Each structure stands twice: as C-alpha cells, then as structure tokens.
Structure 1
Amino acid sequence: MLGANHIRVRCEDGVTRTGRIKGKIKKRLWIREGDLLIVVPWSFQDEKCDIVYRYVRAQVDWLKRRNLLNR
C-alpha cells in the first residue's frame, strides 16, 4: 500500500505498476498483500494501472482446481 488509494502491483507480465483503487472497489472490498487482482494498464502510461476486481479466496481455489491459474 502506498497511501491515497494507490497500491504497488506486480503483474503477470513481470512489470511492477502503481495501481489506483477506484472508489467503487474501495468502498466494497479490502485489498491485502497477496490478493489476486484484475488490473487494466493505462494506455498512455504503462507503469500505471486501474484495479478492476479482487478475487476472494474461494474464487482463487476454484480457478486453481480448474487449472485456469498458473500460480
């Protein structure tokens, strides 16, 4: 966590980006270290992204059982 609704995210492509937690997600979900997130990189700044969704533990387990997650 970087403060002011920003978080450092390590993406699947190996790039570490600064993610912005949108207000819609900020009010509903807590994001912790180690969570699986869906992010959308900005088209004009590759080192920044928006956090779109956070998977809960049950969803991550389901993805692993179906071999849809390489983690």
Structure 2
Amino acid sequence: MSDNDDGGRNDLRMPDDDEVFATVTDMLGANRVKVRCADGVERTARIPGKMQKRVWIREDDVVLVDPWDWQDEKADITYRYENQDADQLREEGHIN
C-alpha cells in the first residue's frame, strides 16, 4: 500500500481552457453524437478518426468536448471517461 493512498481516488484528466464536460445523449451515426455540455448547450459532437476504432462511445458516457470557435453548436470529442471515473467526477461535484 502506498503512502499517498486517498481512498482509491484516481488522478483524472481535467478539461483544458477550451474544453467542457459533456454527456452523450444520442447516437447520430456517421461518427457523430449529440451531447449535453456542462455549460448548458446541446451540441453535435464529432468523434475524431484517432478515437473511432479505439474508444467505444455509447449513450450516457461522460466525455470532454472542445467546442468549435466558429460554430458554437458543434464540437469535437477529445476524451471519454470510464464509468468509475465518471462516478468520481460526480462525487467531487465536477459534473451533475
């Protein structure tokens, strides 16, 4: 057991300056999903090519998205949290 054991807390990836937390609400097909962002905006998010075959994204997953500068209703998914990590984010009050 390590000295800095803090009850099984994982050190999670947090959003960069332009990223926001989001929850996947609907699968649209063609590598696109509908997400509800933490800032209250519903966006159409794109799953980038490097994630398509490696990271499986489903409804109700918690993800990080990078909203587009020129079109606020669209975004790119940058990261997907595992269920255990999403539960930890909820417990710590980062997401609802």
Tell me the TM-score normalized by structure 1.
0.87
Percent identity for Structure 1 against Structure 2? 54
- d(CA) in 2 for partners of 1:69, 1:56: 15
> Normalized per residue, which structure has more helix?
1
SS of equivalent residue, structure 1 residue 58: helix
- d(CA) in 2 for partners of 1:33, 1:64: 17
| Aligned twin of 1:4 | 30
1:23-47 deviation per Cα after TM superposition (whole angstroms, max 9, x unaligned): 1111111111111000000000000
- d(CA) in 2 for partners of 1:64, 1:46: 25
2:54 alignment partner, one of 28, 39, 43: 28
1:57 alignment partner, one of 83, 92, 95: 83
- d(CA) in 2 for partners of 1:70, 1:18: 19
| Aligned twin of 2:45 | 19
- d(CA) in 2 for partners of 1:22, 1:58: 23
RMSD: 1.3
* Range with bigger deviation, 26-35 or 47-56: 26-35
Decide which structure has the larger Cα Rg and report it. Answer: 2
Flag structure 1 segments of 5+ consecutive residues without an equivalent: none
- d(CA) in 1 for partners of 2:79, 2:40: 19
User: Post-superposition shift, 1:62?
Assistant: 3.0
Amino acid at match of 2:73: E
- d(CA) in 1 for partners of 2:68, 2:51: 18
